[in-house]
Amino acid sequence: MSLQTKSSFRVAIIGRPNVGKSTLFNGLTRSRKAVVKNQPGVTRDIIVGRADWWGKTFEVLDTGGITAHNDQFSPLIYKQVLSILKYVDLLVVVMDARSGLLPEDRDIVRIAKESGRDFFIVVNKVDRDKDADLLKAEFYEFGMPVLHAAFERSERVDEIVEKISEYIPENLQAEVPAIRLAIVGKPNVGKSSLCNYLVGEKRVLVSEIAGTTVDAIEMSFSFKNNNFILVDTAGLRRSAKRWSRGDGVEILSSYKSFEAIDHADMVFLVMDATHGPTEQDAKMAEYIFEKGKALIVVANKMDLLKDQQDEPRKWFRERLSREFHFAPNLPMVFTSAESGEGLTNLLEEALSLWQKLHFKVSTRELNDFFYNVIRQAPSPVYRTTNVKFYYCTQTGQLPPSFIAFANHPEGVTPSYRRFLIKRIQHQWGLEGVPVRVFVMKSN
């Protein structure tokens, strides 16, 4: 497992906390991937996005603010930013016109120079062009051109793109499509440790403090010639807990987590193997299936069970069967993100599930199966007559989707629809795949 073969130009945005790095990231990627709040230290992880301007594409990395403050995250962020610089091509050093040039800005320029990467300086929060020369004056001490902008108003972002474009070579290798994996779960179950092990670099902060991950963080890696985009998300507490804590950043981050699921191809639902699955995990699984995403249950932290692994595995499976009664026979892998145990099996399971998402069956084979099923189980009654099915056809993949034509589709109950889905899953080994069955009126 290693970082994905490099096939795009990478730009990292670095600077002190609260100078506007995340706002610039969102402007360049034309997204809201980075949480923006007027609070230092909101961005703690490396967030990766795609920028596409005027026919040129490049990756943008938003980084945590580098500061000399002695808080619990600053040393981790500093090491994290240094570790990622070797993977980027260009640095955009952001400074703040309102606070002026600070000693920390000089330290960051020194880091940029020592990295050996190309870089340029942008002074943010210049709200009026007529004040630009005065506000930029002290930043010229580095002996290089200085751009100015007002990111909150999206002013001069295009000039920054023009500057970045000067560094992008013309002949970049085309990218191979990647499988998008979202990693979700409650706080402190080991999601970020799992990501770091798979990617092979410390891209995500790991600490014993629940809630270390704020944004949904994207990372690229390859396994057996398959490219993956891994999306680590903030730990999801119950809604009542999020709102009672009154933490706006945490509430914003929870939306990012659900958004990551919506845009994923499949989801790793991570749980603490020592605690077992909970009702909250089951509700999350229901949401994942509702969105049509493939699901693998990851029982992490097996290293904490040491030599008692057989009995806890049996206990975990039994508990999963009770809590996830709506989805029997889900793919499940026991792992330890600390030692790497089970992670190869996890990715092999993901590749197997990826093939199942592309399942395709002929209309003839499908209808032979369908007729046998409806003969074995009486169809629902609508008013005074039974629902009569005529035929079934597959309409899509990723996930596999089917339409059954009937005389009274409104009479097909949710329980009968679930029955049909389970029979399809069992027939073709599609456990863990969110099969969809729609019913339409036949003419």
Domain boundaries, the chain: 7-165, 179-357, 363-441
CA 188-235-68 angle, to 5 degrees, is: 75
**Largest distance between two CA atoms of the chain:** 86
> What is the homologous superfamily of the domain 179-357 according to CATH?
P-loop containing nucleotide triphosphate hydrolases (3.40.50.300)
pLDDT at 227: 87
Distances, alpha carbon 392 to alpha carbons 174, 224, 372, in Å: 40, 36, 12
| pLDDT computed for residue 19 by the predictor | 95
pLDDT, average across residues 225-252: 57
For domain 7-165, give the fold: Rossmann fold (3.40.50)
In 28-130, DSSP assigns E strands to: 47-53, 56-62, 90-96, 118-124
Q: Please determine, looking at this structure, whether the domain spanning 363-441 carries the CATH number 1.20.1260.10.
A: no
Q: What is the pLDDT of residues 316-328, one digit of tens each?
A: 999 999 999 888 8
- CA dihedral of residues 343, 348, 354, 357 (deg, nearest 10): -100
- Mean pLDDT, to the nearest integer, of 260-285? 90
pLDDT of 77-99, one tens digit each?
Answer: 777 788 888 889 999 999 999 99
Q: What pTM value is reported for the model?
A: 0.62
In whole angstroms, what separates CA 255 from the centre of its chain? 12
Per-residue pLDDT tens digits for 14-23: 999 999 999 9
DSSP code string of 214-253 = -S-EEEEEEETTEEEEEEE------HHHHHHHT-HHHHHH
> Distance between CA 389 and CA 321 in Å, rounded?
32
Q: Do domains 7-165 and 363-441 have the same CATH topology?
A: no
Per DSSP, the three-state class of 414 is helix
pLDDT in tens, 22-38: 999 999 998 766 554 44
